[in-house]
Amino acid sequence: MKVDILLGLQWGDEGKGKVVDVLTPRYDVVARFQGGPNAGHTLEFEGQKYVLRSIPSGIFQGDKVNIIGNGVVLDPALFKAEAEALEASGHNLKERLHISKKAHLILPTHRILDAAYEAAKGDAKVGTTGKGIGPTYTDKVSRNGVRVGDILHDFDKKYAAAKARHEQILKGLNYEYDLTELEKAWLEGIDYLKQFKFVDSEHEINGLLSDGKSVLCEGAQGTMLDVDFGSYPFVTSSNTICAGACTGLGIAPNKIGEVYGIFKAYCTRVGAGPFPTELFDKTGDQICTLGHEFGSVTGRKRRCGWIDLVALKYAIMVDGVTKLIMMKSDVLDTFETIKACVAYKVNGEEIDYFPFDIEGVEPVYVELPGWQTDMTKMQSEDEFPEEFNAYLSFLEEQLGVPVKIVSVGPDRGQTIERYTEE
């Protein structure tokens, strides 16, 4: 068996949680391979809305195994709050959620360091969520991290050493802080974590594949936030691309099957960083309002703009996407004209590729007629208006990959599969 991978192709917030939930019935296992509680996956069904930060989005499908992989960074306090909220709503996590021993722990001092580093940058802030993600990955790379498996092996000594090292850094930054409440909640989270099954996830996943089980790998954030291939330095601290599933779960490249790439019918971004198609007018405000574009974790208003096909083609290339999934099509239902960026202008020269630096590039647009039809009640592609089908055909021609699934609303049921020819 091979694993299928699902990931975002833009700057995050593409709607990955909903799609994982929709696709999960076809799989035996859902495994999260990178990121941390800075990523919120929102799911809506049966009149309820859920936001998952660290727990895989397959958790709502009863008999599935859900794995938090080694590439994830985990905050025990936030995990405890998230898990208890899910259990209170009737979802039994302890029987079907497994946590990699090699996943790194976000310490209370990591969160303090995150805030201190951002404050020190002044106007050059990256716009982190303040969840301690960057400092945790920094410790991982510098071989100073504390991992989930350490909870079972000389934990107090390892935690004390990491804490002391962080406090020395904070002293040098002259940053004032109070660790009391953060640490109390964190230690309670550590005790709570002990109720779950800690696994060598690389052995577990490869064993499941050998047994013929099907696995869906769930990414967080989006390709354009990848630490190597995104709009650096305004990126996250992990590899959000397809290859991140190999390092974040311990699977070989030849085990990869389908790669599902998710994108919105327009584009959004949270926090600082270049955004070529960003709109600063009433159209941008309208997209934000209609799309409810506010961060599921931070609540921050998202910056909105037209779809960027230059960046999308780049993402498809580095990810090896085999099937596309378009989200929030309904947000554009009322627009008379829709624009799509097909090239950039750099110093007066038009280019059709994603360059080293996108700061200050000028988007080159084509205009397409809007469908001006309420699509939220549609059940099949046979109901799609002619203009919407033309938009899909245009995207497929530009991107070279079929759009197999279209979302026409936030609910699980507002998802339409297309039976296009490969």
The token duo for 2 is: 């091979």
What is the tens place of the pLDDT at every residue in 285-332? 999 999 999 876 667 789 999 999 999 999 999 999 999 999 999 999
pLDDT at 44: 64
Give yes or no: residues 113 and 96 share one domain.
Answer: no
pLDDT at 40: 65
Q: Please give the tally of structural domains in the chain.
A: 3
What is the tens place of the pLDDT at every residue in 200-225? 999 999 999 999 999 999 998 999 99
> Following DSSP, what letter does each residue of 130-196 receive, concatenated?
SSSHHHHHHHHHTT---BGGGGGSSHHHHHHHHHHHHHHHHHHTT-----HHHHHHHHHHHHHHTTS
305 in a structural domain:
yes
Give the integer Cα–Cα distance in Å for 385 and 116: 52
Q: Which domain holds residue 220?
A: 3-101+198-260
| CATH code of residue 133 | 1.10.300.10
| DSSP-derived 3-state class of residue 56 | coil
pLDDT at 58: 80
The token duo for 247 is: 């390092």
Give yes or no: residues 307 and 402 share one domain.
Answer: yes
Give yes or no: residues 287 and 184 share one domain.
Answer: no
Give yes or no: residues 331 and 384 share one domain.
Answer: yes
187 in a structural domain:
yes
Name the binding residues: 12-18, 38-42, 129, 143, 221, 236, 296-302, 328-330, 407-409
Give yes or no: residues 320 and 241 share one domain.
Answer: no
25 in a structural domain:
yes
pLDDT at 20: 80
| CATH code of residue 315 | 3.90.170.10
Neighbours of 369 (CB within 10 A): 14
Give the integer Cα–Cα distance in Å for 10 and 225: 8
What is the tens place of the pLDDT at every residue in 78-89? 999 989 888 887
Could you tell me the pTM of the whole model?
Answer: 0.91
The DSSP secondary-structure symbol of 333 reads T
Of 13, 28, 139, 333, catalytic:
13
Give yes or no: residues 374 and 393 share one domain.
Answer: yes
Domain edge (last residue) among 213, 242, 260: 260
Give yes or no: residues 376 and 315 share one domain.
Answer: yes
Per-block mean pLDDT, blocks of 10 residues, the chain (422 long): 95 86 89 84 64 82 88 95 84 88 97 89 65 93 97 95 96 91 96 96 97 94 95 93 97 97 96 94 95 77 96 98 97 97 95 94 97 95 96 97 95 86 55
> Following DSSP, what letter does each residue of 307-332 receive, concatenated?
EEHHHHHHHHHHHT--EEEEE-GGGG
Of 4, 28, 41, 139, catalytic:
41
pLDDT at 47: 65
422 in a structural domain:
no
- Return phi, psi of residue 280, to 5°: -110, 20
pLDDT at 37: 86
- Return phi, psi of residue 283, to 5°: -65, -45
Of 64, 98, 104, 140, catalytic:
140
Name the binding residues for Mg(2+): 13, 40
Give the integer Cα–Cα distance in Å for 108 and 77: 9
Q: H or E element: which one contains 393?
A: helix 386-399
pLDDT at 43: 64
Give yes or no: residues 293 and 380 share one domain.
Answer: yes
Give yes or no: residues 298 and 411 share one domain.
Answer: yes
Give yes or no: residues 407 and 331 share one domain.
Answer: yes
pLDDT at 184: 97
Cis peptide before 253 (omega within 30 of 0): no
pLDDT at 86: 84
| DSSP-derived 3-state class of residue 309 | helix
Give yes or no: residues 190 and 202 share one domain.
Answer: no
pLDDT at 299: 74
Asked about 13 being catalytic, the answer comes back as yes
Name the binding residues for GTP: 12-18, 40-42, 302, 328-330, 407-409
Give yes or no: residues 123 and 13 share one domain.
Answer: no
